[in-house]
């Protein structure tokens, strides 16, 4: 049936069953059989995925040859009661550290999807929100639209970073021009603004030209999923104490850097 509809069929936990059913893959939990054993059973061509609850588990899965990992539970979920949520902080770190695909899972619904996508996920997994809804198909379509919107912005950002020198020139031109012109955007270019409403402000965020809708440094950190993480924030060359983040407004063309705290020694 899945083959007829062109979707993948992944068997949960049981590698032998996956093999017998000629499935496309098998999905393991942390407590199930080890990845290398599962690989031995199912062979090279079958997909193997594994649920992870911390970066160390995900990196280990990547090293051990997993094709994808689950990242979660992002929020507390009724599907796995009592399991502590990993929050979007883990999603953000997974997005920056993993080379293999990952699915964000756990408490994901159209209401929470934006936050999870903002943290860097581009693959979502939902159980309760879909099967517990009167119109499961509509929920799926909504989630899919959200993902596609973020993917479109990714593509836009990639094309922008290719023309970063050009952007720098335009930023300089905008600085020389009037502030209102900068705010009204034509001097900086309209096609680059990802938000149709045009309410965002242009920033240089960690060296990349970005449009942001956050009004304060604190709100931006929150939107990036950095609120609970050990990062130092810098605004126009000066570090900003964390307690002041919410009180520091963002202005057009501010240079913002979030610097990961380097903790090894």
Tokens 């799926």, residue?
A: 140
**Segment 119-148, which members bind another protein (CB under 8 A)?**
none
The count of C-alpha atoms lying within 13 angstroms of the C-alpha of 36, restricted to the half-sphere facing its C-beta, is: 3
Residue 59 or residue 127: which is nearer to another protein going by CB? 59
Please check whether residue 127 is in contact with residue 72, taking contact to mean a CB–CB distance below 8 angstroms.
Answer: no
> What does the alpha-carbon distance between residue 123 and residue 105 come to, in Å, rounded to a whole number?
9
> DSSP 3-state assignment of 117?
helix
Token pair, residue 199, equals 């309410």
Q: Please state whether the peptide bond connecting residue 73 to the residue before it is cis, i.e. omega within 30 degrees of 0.
A: yes
β-bridge mates for residue 173, sequence order = none
95 binds another protein (CB under 8 A): no
> How far separated are the first and last CA of the chain, in Å rounded?
54
257 binds another protein (CB under 8 A): yes
Helix axes 87-97, 110-118, angle to 10 degrees: 50
Mark the segment that binds another protein (CB under 8 A) among 103-111, 119-127, 183-191, 232-240: 232-240
Residue 84 or residue 191: which is nearer to another protein going by CB? 84
Work out which of 7, 21, 155, 259 binds another protein, going by CB under 8 A.
259
Mark the segment that binds another protein (CB under 8 A) among 107-115, 126-134, 148-156, 227-235: 227-235
82 binds another protein (CB under 8 A): no
Work out which of 153, 229, 251, 258 binds another protein, going by CB under 8 A.
229
Token pair, residue 150, equals 């973020």
The dihedral formed by the CA atoms of 187, 192, 194 and 197, expressed in degrees to the nearest 10? 30
Work out which of 89, 130, 156, 183 binds another protein, going by CB under 8 A.
89
Mark the segment that binds another protein (CB under 8 A) among 3-11, 21-29, 44-52, 255-263: 255-263
Total residues contacting another protein by CB under 8 A comes to: 29
**Segment 50-79, which members bind another protein (CB under 8 A)?**
55-56, 59
Work out which of 48, 50, 93, 201 binds another protein, going by CB under 8 A.
93
Work out which of 67, 213, 234, 246 binds another protein, going by CB under 8 A.
234
Mark the segment that binds another protein (CB under 8 A) among 68-76, 161-169, 193-201, 252-260: 252-260
- Tell me which H or E stretch contains 42: helix 35-42
> What does the alpha-carbon distance between residue 78 and residue 6 come to, in Å, rounded to a whole number?
30
Residues near another protein, by CB under 8 A: 55-56, 59, 89-90, 93, 97, 228-232, 234, 237-244, 257, 259-265
């Amino acid at each position: 049936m899945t083959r007829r509809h062109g979707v993948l069929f992944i068997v949960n936990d049981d590698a032998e069953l996956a093999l017998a059913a000629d499935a496309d893959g098998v999905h393991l939990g942390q407590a199930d059989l080890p990845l290398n054993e599962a690989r031995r059973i199912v062979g090279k061509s079958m997909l193997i995925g594994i649920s992870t609850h911390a970066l160390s588990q995900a990196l280990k899965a990547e090293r051990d040859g997993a094709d994808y990992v689950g990242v979660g539970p992002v929020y507390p979920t009724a599907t796995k009661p009592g399991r502590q949520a990993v929050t979007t902080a883990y999603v953000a770190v997974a997005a920056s550290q993993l080379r293999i695909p990952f699915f964000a899972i756990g408490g994901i619904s159209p209401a929470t999807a934006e936050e999870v996508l903002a943290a860097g996920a581009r693959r979502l997994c939902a159980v309760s929100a879909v099967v517990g809804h009167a119109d499961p198909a509509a929920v799926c379509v909504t989630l899919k639209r959200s993902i596609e919107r973020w993917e479109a912005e990714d593509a836009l950002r990639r094309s922008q970073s290719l023309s970063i020198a050009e952007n720098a020139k335009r930023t300089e031109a905008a600085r020389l021009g009037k502030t209102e012109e900068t705010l009204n955007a034509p001097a900086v270019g309209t096609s680059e603004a990802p938000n149709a409403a045009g309410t965002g402000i242009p920033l240089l965020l960690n060296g990349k030209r970005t449009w942001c809708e956050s009004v304060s440094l604190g709100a931006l950190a929150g939107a990036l999923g950095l609120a609970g993480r050990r990062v130092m924030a810098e605004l126009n060359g000066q570090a900003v104490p964390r307690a002041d983040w919410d009180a520091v407004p963002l202005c057009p063309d501010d240079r913002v850097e979030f610097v990961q705290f380097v903790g090894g020694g």
